[in-house]
Structure 1
Amino acid sequence: MIIGKLENALKMAMLLQSRGKMKGYELAQELDVTERQILKYKNALEEAGIMIDSKQGAHGGYTLLGSNLLGLKIDKNEIFTLEMIKEQLIYNNDMNKDEFINILDKLKVLVNSNSDSNDHMDYFTIQPKSNIDTQKQKKIYKDIIYAYITKRKIKMNYYSLASGEKERIVHPYGMFNYKGDIYMVAYCENRENFADFKICRISQHEVLDEKYNINSSFSWSEYSKNCMGIYKDGEFEVVLKIKYPFSIIIKEKIWVDNQKIIENKDKSIIFKATMKGYSEIKSWILSMGADVEVIEPEKLREDIISEVEKIKNLY
């Protein structure tokens, strides 16, 4: 469950604990969501061990079963894990960091956890921070969620590195985080295909009254299958010979699910995989410098040689 939904689910449980029975529309008004979303929060809470009774009719509504929220059964080790996530969100300047800190503070009350104690190790992350207008991104983020829930199209001005800024009509299907940035996956009416849209590149947007139907053939697993990153240009067999010490670094990660690694006596490895994302794979190989050799495909080998020549001429 994404951070915003988790916070709202916990707020719903706290509202029921403090006020007793509440109607679905009352909860929806308090949380600024649809009544349909309230049912999803109920199901999510029950999966976490917080049971909620619901009855229809004039005297019906939602009621929290039990006297408190300790059914969450969260221990201090789990709080420490959340503390690490919090530090990463703060360092990354993530647009949801304040909401996550608010959630964590509430959870720590439940287990009487003090984050200032000295019984856990400090944690920090080293990577570039997001340089975004947090409030603007939150507005876009929430509108995308609303558009998805209500199945409404979004009209937006989007800046693409390939074609510059253009107006697009899209159908939201979901969001994901990649290298600290939030992307929306949507069907683009202009391209007549699915695409990833970095939400910080949306300059203007409007949720339209016009609705769209979900394409039942869309599959998240197929959409991202064998992808090196966000790029999906082409799919091909890659064979690399990687020298030590990069061989150790490459072995420590699963780059694509189908990868195969053969270890050599000189500590080098042969890396084999079916991969998508030609431009990102090129960048990945170049980042290893002289410690990697492209065996296959021949086109990739030639393109790497050409890129090295360009770099050589530049310097």
Structure 2
Amino acid sequence: MNKTDRLLAIVLELQRKGVLRAEDLAVTFETSRRTIYRDIQALSEAGVPVVGSPGQGYSLMEGYFLPPLSFTVEEAVSLLIGTDFVQQKFDVSYGAKAETSRRKIEAILPEGVRKEVSRARTTIRLLATDESANKGWEKEYIEILRSAILEECKVKFCYSKAISETDGNRHSVRTVSPYGLVLLNGSWMMIAKCDLRQELRHFRVSRMSDLLVLTERFKYPSDFILQDYRPSDDRDLRVRIQADPDIAHLLVESKNFYMEELVNHQNGLVMTFRVRQIEELLPWVLSWGADVVVLEPETLRSRVREEAVKMMKRY
């Protein structure tokens, strides 16, 4: 943090907490007390009314506020929850910026609003799922990919697919031109032009390993707009499944990615899915046991029977 940013941050920190000692400020901004003393002097010379009380610390003169912004309780809660989300889902660099933003927002709130916001935030909590909690290496990868996108550098990595290719191989080495990152259902996806396939592909960050930024550059296409991008839909295999009425609500709550239609019938809930291949849905179907039955296609019905026979042999 440079001196200018630190001076503003000190003012905001004093405005937010009232009275702080030099050693407290030194710990917060990871600097020495001598530097804090110089910063306080610079603020005083610049006209900021910083008051020093021996044995207590520094504070701002009563009535001094920066900046002249006004938020409702709901607006402030929304912004602060947003910083929580960024800290959970984004890389370390953005997480640190989110923490700085949170401090600035809290600092500019009038005391009454700040107390109401603090109380409201105690009633709301963001819990990351196991997958979206983002292991340390995954956050590092997000930061690396974000930098590569901005600098228009190609990246190389090993990729593991959930389902094997037609040649039976699940693992491959890819070199791609990264265009953007998308957070989809709690998982980070990279949109990139794949050198191997010579087309746009989607890669889940959690399935990458040995990520390397290359010196080879690429030209970001002027006609590609991530916010407007819609991937082509090649899911042309229709699947229909019937669930027992007792567990129908559980299947609805599962929010399967491939689910397209739900229709209640006398004998249970009939669900329609669209997939590329039956392997994408097979584990999900098996997880519900005898409480669901595949109506079509016959290929999926056969696979379920085969897996049931294998399980019987194991038990």
Same fold (TM over 0.5): yes
Specify the SS of the correspondent of 1:118.
helix
1:313 corresponds to which residue?
Answer: 313
Q: 106-115 or 171-180, which moves further after superposition?
A: 106-115
Q: 290-299 or 172-181, which moves further after superposition?
A: 172-181
Change over 3 Å in CA distance of 1:276–1:158 after alignment to 2 = same
Amino acid corresponding to residue 127 of structure 1 in structure 2: T
Change over 3 Å in CA distance of 1:127–1:217 after alignment to 2 = closer
Mapping of 1:106-255 within 5 angstroms?
Answer: 106-112=104-110, 113-114=114-115, 117-119=118-120, 120-125=122-127, 127-128=129-130, 130=133, 132-134=135-137, 137-138=139-140, 140-154=141-155, 156-161=156-161, 162=164, 163=169, 166-178=172-184, 180-200=186-206, 201-214=208-221, 216=223, 220-223=229-232, 225=233, 234-252=235-253, 255=256
How many residue pairs get aligned? The number is 239
CA deviation vs aligned residue, 1:102-154 (integer Å, no higher than 9, x gap): 333333334443588434514353732546335x743x433423332343322
Amino acid corresponding to residue 98 of structure 2 in structure 1: F
Q: 246-255 or 202-211, which moves further after superposition?
A: 246-255
Cα deviation, residue 258, structure 1: 8.0
Please provide the CA RMSD for this pair. 4.1
**1: distance between equivalents of 2:283 and 2:224?**
32
Amino acid corresponding to residue 296 of structure 2 in structure 1: E
Specify the SS of the correspondent of 1:197.
strand
CA deviation vs aligned residue, 1:198-240 (integer Å, no higher than 9, x gap): 33523131243432453958973234x4xxxxxx7x5311211
Amino acid corresponding to residue 76 of structure 1 in structure 2: V
Structure 1's unaligned 5+ residue stretches are 1-10, 19-66, 226-231
Change over 3 Å in CA distance of 1:142–1:296 after alignment to 2 = same
Change over 3 Å in CA distance of 1:192–1:313 after alignment to 2 = farther
1:22 corresponds to which residue?
Answer: none
**2: distance between equivalents of 1:142 and 1:126?**
19
CA contact (8 A) 2:188 2:204 kept: yes
CA contact (8 A) 2:263 2:271 kept: yes
Specify the SS of the correspondent of 1:302.
helix
1:300 has 2:314 as partner: no
- TM-score, normalised via structure 1 length: 0.59
In our comparison, the structure showing a higher alpha carbon Rg is: 2
Amino acid corresponding to residue 205 of structure 1 in structure 2: L
Change over 3 Å in CA distance of 1:126–1:157 after alignment to 2 = closer
Amino acid corresponding to residue 282 of structure 1 in structure 2: L
CA contact (8 A) 1:259 1:271 kept: yes
2:32 corresponds to which residue?
Answer: none
Q: 203-212 or 252-261, which moves further after superposition?
A: 252-261
- TM-score, normalised via structure 2 length: 0.59
CA contact (8 A) 2:189 2:202 kept: yes
Cα deviation, residue 295, structure 1: 0.7
1:75 has 2:56 as partner: no
Specify the SS of the correspondent of 1:283.
helix
Specify the SS of the correspondent of 2:188.
strand
CA contact (8 A) 1:153 1:212 kept: no
Change over 3 Å in CA distance of 1:247–1:87 after alignment to 2 = farther
Change over 3 Å in CA distance of 1:78–1:307 after alignment to 2 = farther
